[in-house]
Amino acid sequence: MSPHSYKQELVGLFGQPVAENPTQAMIEAAFRHHDLAWRYLTIEVAPERLGDAVRGARAMGFAGFHCTIPHKVAVLEHVDEIAPSASLIGAVNCVVARGDRLVGANTDGRGFLTSVRPLLELNGANVVVLGAGGAARAVAVELALAGARRMTIVNRGTDRGAALAALLDGPVRAHAAPALDVRFVSLEDGYAVPADADLVVNATSIGLAPDVDADVPADLSALRADAVVADVIPTGDTPFLRRARAAGGLAVDGLGMLVAQGELAIELWAGIAPDADVMRGALLDALEVAG
């Protein structure tokens, strides 16, 4: 009989802020359910200390880690290899240890597609993406690769918004989306979502804790009844989604995306397909306690 081992495999989350991020609750519920001696650590990492954090993860033998705001783009320079999809997106949310090498992957966009596909035919869709950061890049690229016909990028900052539009109109179009029509619009003075939009995505950090009452300056009054409005904020309901429902749209919270990308992360780290129902149940329990 082999002796009991007290060693645990380590994964985690690097970001700032992270105190309100509920990912740990669902990931560790999956570990317990599948009898894995693993731990998921939620770690506050300031932007200027990201390199130190990655070196620390290497030194401590982490099996991998998530990156959230503001590290999804900055972490690219700290990994040894970038998976093809993450390279195209230009952002990494999931790092995987492969021997002595760290591989940057992106599960955000694929997780998002899982959450909206039951409600919407993505092939040929007219999409509005609010935001141009790491999450927006992942969502926009995966939507384009899934066959979206038209995409409007709406962002406060001109540089990042124009850069994302150029990414979609250049490398992404050349890779697998030749029919995609892309444009960029500034959010500075507000934005009115057009009546022909099939999908509207809030991929900004607006509504993220601690400022959970913040709302996106987008006019939803022209929404069609069959339009889907999705928020990537992983806290359940948001002011943006409440307005979407009031306007008659179909609201999709960020929990489905969070669970789906978490499933993919566990598959990459531990090589198993976790139980999504267990993960979502633990996430809902955690949010109810926090609320």
- For the segment 95-108, what is each residue's pLDDT rounded down to a tens digit? 999 999 999 999 99
Question: What type of residue is 143?
Answer: L
Could you write out the three-class secondary structure of the chain?
Answer: CCCCCCCCEEEEEEECCCCCCCHHHHHHHHHHHCCCCEEEEEEECCHHHHHHHHHHHHHCCCCEEEECCCCCCHHHHHCCEECHHHHHHCCCCEEEEECCEEEEECCHHHHHHHHHHHHCCCCCCEEEEECCCHHHHHHHHHHHHCCCCEEEEEECCHHHHHHHHHHHHHHHHHHHCCCCEEEEEECCCCEECCCCCCEEEECCCCCCCCCCCCCCCEECCCCCCCCEEEECCCCCCCHHHHHHHHCCCEEECCHHHHHHHHHHHHHHHHCCCCCHHHHHHHHHHHHHHHC
> Rounded to whole angstroms, how far apart are CA atoms 16 and 223?
34
User: What pLDDT is stored for residue 206 in this prediction?
Assistant: 87
> pTM for this one?
0.86
Annotated catalytic residue, options 26, 53, 66, 72: 72
Q: Which two tokens stand for residue 67?
A: 């990156």
CATH of residue 203's domain is 3.40.50.720
* pLDDT score at 5: 85
Same domain (yes/no): 138, 217:
yes
Distance CA 289, CA 221 (A): 34
Asked if 230 and 204 count as a contact pair (C-beta separation under 8 A), the reply is no
Task: Reply yes or no on whether the pLDDT at 177 is more than 80.
Answer: no
Same domain, 121 and 146: yes
Q: How confident is the model at residue 291 (pLDDT cuts 50, 70, 90)?
A: very low
Assess whether 7 carries a catalytic annotation: no
The whole-number average pLDDT for the span 71-86 is 94
Would residue 3 count as lying in a domain?
no
Least confident interval from 12-26, 119-133, 166-180, 249-263: 166-180
Residue listed under structure tokens 């030194």: 59
Determine the average pLDDT of the residues in 3-11: 89
pLDDT above 80 for 185 = yes
Shared domain check, 244 and 134:
yes
Check if the beta carbon of residue 75 is closer than 8 Å to that of residue 50. Answer: yes
- With respect to residue 1, please indicate whether it lies within any of the assigned structural domains: no
pLDDT given at position 3: 66
16 pLDDT band, cuts 50/70/90, is: very high
pLDDT at 156 over 70: yes
- pLDDT computed for residue 1 by the predictor: 43
Q: Are residues 33 and 147 in the same domain?
A: no
Contact present, 95 and 63 (Cβ < 8 Å) = no
Strand 181-186 to strand 150-155: parallel, antiparallel, or no bridges (unpaired)? parallel
Residue 86: predicted pLDDT = 92
Domain shared by 186 and 122, yes or no: yes
Q: Tell me: do 144 and 239 sit in the same domain.
A: yes
Average pLDDT, the chain: 93
Where in the sequence is the domain holding 204, given as residue range(s)? 109-253
Handedness of CA 113, 205, 72, 93 (dihedral sign): negative
Residue 175 lies in a domain: yes
pLDDT at 101: 97
Q: Which of 28, 16, 17 is nearest to 266 (CA)?
A: 28
Residues 123, 153: one domain?
yes
Domains identified in the chain, total number = 2
Structure tokens at 174: 């050349």
pLDDT digits over 198-250, tens only?
Answer: 999 999 988 877 788 889 999 999 999 999 999 998 877 899 999 999 999 99
pLDDT on residue 2: 52
- Would you state the structure tokens that stand for residue 144, as one six-digit string? 């384009």
- Residues 121, 223, single domain; the answer is yes
